[in-house]
Amino acid sequence: MAGFDLDAPEGEPTPTDLLSSLTLENWETEKLDWAHIEKCREVGVERFQKAVADIMAELEGMIADGKNVHFAHTMAGGIPKAKVFLVIANRIYKGRGARHMSSQVLLDSDLGKLILQNFDEVSANTFRHLIEGSAAIRARIEKSGGQVRYSAYGYHGTGILIGDEYRWQTYTNYTQGYAKMKLEAIAEEAFAAGIKATVFNCPEIRTNSSDVFAGIELPLLPLLKALKKENGGARAEKVWADCQNLLVEGATIDDVLQKITDFQASDVMIPFYDFNNWPMPNSQGQSDITIGTSAEIAQMHKDSKALISDYLSVLVVEATGALIFGEVADPSAPVLWLNHDMVARQINSAG
């Protein structure tokens, strides 16, 4: 377990305990005891570092000299278990109209600051602990002729087809994105020191945990166009046919993609495709169009539990896994983007 939301010095309250007094009426103004929270963070970090050390001691006897070793970092998450946050999250990520809430309001509150700290510990700092905690194994392996690599699964937006070109975009407001940027910085620092550590920024997929972010699956759908653009042939045709079969009678893939095109081309969304302006808070208009488009496309399916985005998510996971393992032997940079052109070519080649 990473993060410090359930950690505290012996006999003292955990950060999660402190959040139990927050209500919908007071959470924006309630202040937290940051000196105490720092003590909790230190306890959590020490606990995690000890766990890494214990694991490395076990691995020491299992990995022979001269072997090649790949450490894969897959840590993510870190939302404290606070009842009030469930309501807030629903309003920020799923709220339209009068139910909409600005993500910036959360980030400006003490609750938001705590969540960001915990995200940093879970999604980013654990990568540093992994790299530092495996230093002895790395030194032994490299001295005996082997190589050591580190990969981390990132998300900081993706290049997808917007019009006829691949352009960066991201889900707004992906609160964990701040921690993912720190994860990238840790990889850059390690890479500069001669350690081959690489964050692979992977495309959006739809999962049980990502479902809280209504509309996060929308950037998946232009992958259908990318499959054809990247010389898909029979493989692309099969994927299109399979996805067509998921839609209700009278609805077509082209209808779905037209909704995406309209969404991307809207005056509301265009400012959000500027990488230099990220991170941006959500807005009423952006939330309304994102959540609304997501709902409209979901209604075009025969079964709400069998969506095109589910089908494509499986393909993306398989493709990104292959791309990561293919690249990690000789990574060209500490931060790499697995954009839809690369993913589409990998899916087509696997067909």
Q: What is the pTM of this model?
A: 0.93
User: Which stretches of the chain drop beneath a pLDDT of 70?
Assistant: 209
Residue 79 lies in a domain: yes
Q: Could you give the CA distance from residue 210 to residue 205 in angstroms, rounded to a whole number?
A: 8
Contact 170, 278 (CB under 8 A): yes
Residue 147 lies in a domain: yes
Domain enclosing residue 23, as ranges: 15-350
Contact 171, 103 (CB under 8 A): no
Helix, strand, coil proportions of the chain in percent (round to 5)?
55, 10, 35
Residue 93 lies in a domain: yes
Domain count of the fold of the chain: 1
Asked if residue 271 has a cis previous peptide bond (ω within 30° of 0), the answer is no
Contact 131, 139 (CB under 8 A): no
Pairing relationship of beta strands 69-73 and 197-201 according to DSSP bridges: unpaired
pLDDT value of position 218 = 96
pLDDT value of position 133 = 98
pLDDT value of position 63 = 97
List C-alpha distances in Å: 82 to 19, 22, 121.
6, 8, 18
pLDDT digits (tens, 9 = 90+) for 184-203: 999 999 999 999 999 999 99
Contact 325, 190 (CB under 8 A): no
pLDDT digits (tens, 9 = 90+) for 3-61: 999 999 999 999 999 999 999 999 999 999 999 999 999 999 999 999 999 999 999 99
